[in-house]
Amino acid sequence: EAGVTQFPSHSVIEKGQTVTLRCDPISGHDNLYWYRRVMGKEIKFLLHFVKESKQDESGMPNNRFLAERTGGTYSTLKVQPAELEDSGVYFCASSTSRANYGYTFGSGTRLTVV
102 binds another protein (CB under 8 A): yes
1 binds another protein (CB under 8 A): no
List C-alpha distances in Å: 46 to 14, 27, 90, 92, 99.
22, 22, 9, 10, 18
Out of 17, 87, 96, 104, the residue judged to bind another protein by CB under 8 A: 104
When the beta carbons of 70 and 100 are compared against another protein, the nearer one is: 100
In angstroms, rounded to a whole number, what is the distance separating the alpha carbons of residues 93 and 7? 13
Out of 29, 60, 82, 91, the residue judged to bind another protein by CB under 8 A: 91
Interacting positions 60-89 with another protein (CB under 8 A): none
In angstroms, rounded to a whole number, what is the distance separating the alpha carbons of residues 28 and 65? 26
Question: Phi, psi at residue 5, to the nearest 5°?
Answer: -110, 130
Which residues of this chain interact with another protein, rule CB under 8 A?
4, 31, 33, 35, 41-45, 48, 55-56, 58-59, 91, 93, 99-108
